[in-house]
Amino acid sequence: MPEHLTVVEHPLVQHKLTLMRDADTPTGLFRQLLREISTLLAYEVTRDLPVTTRRVHTPLESMDAPVLDGRKLALVSILRAGNGLLDGMLDLMPSARVGFVGLYRDEETLEPVQYYCKLPEALPERRVIVVDPMLATGNSSAAAIALVKGAGAVDIRFLCLLAAPEGVRRMADAHPDVPVVTAAVDERLNEMGYIVPGLGDAGDRMYGTR
Ligand code: URA
């Protein structure tokens, strides 16, 4: 993945994202759509995983067939909305280890405050995919990535559903070595730090809270 930012323009992703944006989409469907999109985005964010070959014997003959080269994977969810992306990704990568970073956004400063951190072992040997549906100011995402770097991770990707230009810039400044994969980059952030037009508060829409 050479570019810092990849926007996944696949029609299935875009269609599902449009349904998620609709304020009338109910909680259960919203969660289901997020799970489905996360599987499609997982496909994109793992596109450059290294492969090697393994000798297999098909019913007809033998061949050297491609397999993952054994690099271990870790998914790190930024609580709580990041959890909405986990299950769909784990469907594709069932043996990935999973970590959690708890950050809440101070409503006045919009700065992240850490309240929880539990990361898998051996992060330096893993491809680490940090997930959060909304890349808004980028403060939480940048802080979460600083945490995983602090734990030794060097091969890191950031996966989100929607990004604001401000968040993309913040990530590029803070972590130029971390490619970002998203389904869309929206217009802007509003004065409350929400992505516009966006889809509202992803955690609230996912879990039916307010
Ligand atoms: N977090 C959300 O859930 N939505 C936004 O628009 C911005 C941050």
Span from the CA of 70 to the centroid of ligand 1 (angstroms): 35
Answer yes or no: is pLDDT of 1 > 60: no
- Of the pLDDT bands very low, low, confident and very high (cuts 50, 70, 90), residue 2 is very low
- Of the pLDDT bands very low, low, confident and very high (cuts 50, 70, 90), residue 107 is confident
Query: For the chain, how long is the longest CA-to-CA vector?
Result: 66
- Of the pLDDT bands very low, low, confident and very high (cuts 50, 70, 90), residue 111 is confident
pLDDT tens digits for range 80-102: 999 999 999 999 999 999 999 99
Answer yes or no: is pLDDT of 24 > 80: yes
Is 105 a known active-site residue?
yes
Dump the DSSP string for 45-79.
HTTT--EEEEEEE-SS-EEEEEEE---EEEEEEEE
Output the residue whose Cα is nearest ligand 1's atom 4. Answer: 201
Q: Which of 35, 105, 106, 127 is catalytic?
A: 105
Q: Under 8 Å CB-to-CB from 25, ≥6 apart: which residues?
A: 19, 33, 205
Place of tokens 């043996």: 95
Q: Ligand 1 atom closest to Cα of 81?
A: 3
pLDDT tens digits for range 166-180: 999 999 999 999 999
Q: Which one, of 126, 120, 161, 121, lies nearest residue 141 by Cα? A: 161
Is 69 a known active-site residue?
no
pLDDT tens digits for range 147-205: 999 999 999 999 999 999 999 999 999 999 999 999 999 999 999 999 999 999 999 99
138 lines ligand 1 (CB under 6 A): no
Q: How far apart are CA 56 and CA 33, in angstroms?
A: 37
